[in-house]
Structure 1
């Protein structure tokens, strides 16, 4: 399999307070497909997205369907967090221009995913993942050091991604192949690293995609809560996730689908968890 390597990235930092290590061992994680800031009223309103994020006050945020680095920069500024953008390139000219209300440029629009963090982080990378549709998808990863229970520090790799969306044999195979690409690129052969995977996986909890992720060690937890995320505002299924690995490295405190049905066509998933020092 040939992987298209890192295309472009931009680090954006706005607040000096982000650079001090948090003392709390509780970690709050959000995954959010923001639909380029376009809400269910067809209005582009990035402040609305930022308000959802700020009210939840997460430590780490995985964003999908981000238009460009400027959008990540704006969200980082409005939420007082650090940000990084991971670009992806469409196989065909993207259908975002009318949606965003911008002129069609001569060059293709770069879009992708983004990560926001209250922690200073090391940027691990951004790479394309398999796709059978006209869209190009990618995965990106950062690494942070956080305090675990027992005051020891733990290295955490935080990954966000967006899998292919079609209900075709090719797209289904692409989603499963994407798991192996992420495994090879971002998962270390080390017991000292814990992982969080966030994203729009375009697959339901009982799908072969989630089963394969489980075989690779990614733990799915709902704590008995209904985590439907699409279609907003009245979702009927879950395709957005926060997964952890290994399960023994984490204590899951809470996980919910946030009932905000206007800012995007997806509901965000919000998890509260704590790293466990002794596995």
Structure 2
């Protein structure tokens, strides 16, 4: 019997190889091994060296460049006169293709001002928690934004964004309330934001009763953006989690805000 020979054109082989690598990419995207978390105080979209200018596309470009799965944002305007009555978080969500949740701090210029969250994953639930201040002292109202998402490995995750007060007396009450709200969660919890404190302040020590910072040694400063001197923006994971920090990075030379963005990458169990 005469044997048949088969000829596969090189183009056909190239297509097979491409399909193979595309299938691997899809599998990696649906079952990622890492979680990328960012925190960024966006200064209501105003680059500090450009007074009066609002540049949300610049903020969105920073986020898209680093492809975080979850982003904690602070100093967000929602339909205020100052920023042209734009719902800033909604616009950032549209520019980045992410889900979002806004948590008001105060009423401001016919709109609202506060913190928020962007998520690559659908948001299963969301809650705004007002944070306390010391009675008798002037204070700007602060809040904690909390969402729950389902990670691609099927595990739930609680993710929180906040912006704490400058006054230590208010801040001490706020971190105690955050511990109360989050420490009892059964799911893993990540807290991120502009905490208006350094790693050595008493309020951080209270947080560290239940949380571990993504960077604990030789950590880069986060403010001001041009000549950073202090680290006041943090990402923290609730103790007892099986997730592990792979990397922590402060991205330099970014002038879209007066803070620099911070990213932590966690290894999923």
Matching of residue 172 in structure 1 with residue 150 in structure 2: no
Which of 224, 241, 244 is matched with 1:231 structurally? 224
The answer to which structure, 1 or 2, has the higher relative contact order (CA under 8 A, 6+ apart) is 1
**What are the ranges of 5 or more consecutive residues in structure 1 without an aligned counterpart?**
1-20, 95-104, 166-170
RMSD of aligned alpha carbons? 1.9
Q: Summarize the alignment of residues 1-279 of structure 1 with structure 2, pairs less than 5 Å apart.
A: 22-41=30-49, 42=51, 43-68=53-78, 70-90=87-107, 94=108, 105=109, 107=110, 109-131=111-133, 132-148=137-153, 153-165=154-166, 171-190=167-186, 193-215=187-209, 217-222=210-215, 224-276=217-269
Change (3 A) 1:154 1:164: same
8 Å contact kept, 2:101–2:126: no
Q: Which has the larger radius of gyration?
A: 2
Per-residue deviation, residues 142-179 of structure 1 (Å, max 9, x unmatched)? 0111145xxxx3211000000001xxxxx212112112
Give the distance between the partners of 2:185 and 2:34, measured in 1 at CA. Answer: 26
Give the distance between the partners of 1:147 and 1:82, measured in 2 at CA. Answer: 16
Change (3 A) 1:60 1:22: farther
After TM superposition, the score normalised by the length of structure 1 is: 0.77
Q: What displacement does 1:130 show?
A: 2.3
Give the distance between the partners of 1:261 and 1:233, measured in 2 at CA. Answer: 8
8 Å contact kept, 1:87–1:113: yes
After TM superposition, the score normalised by the length of structure 2 is: 0.79
Give the distance between the partners of 1:147 and 1:45, measured in 2 at CA. Answer: 33
How many residue pairs were aligned? 229
Per-residue deviation, residues 44-87 of structure 1 (Å, max 9, x unmatched)? 11110000000010000000000017101100010111111111
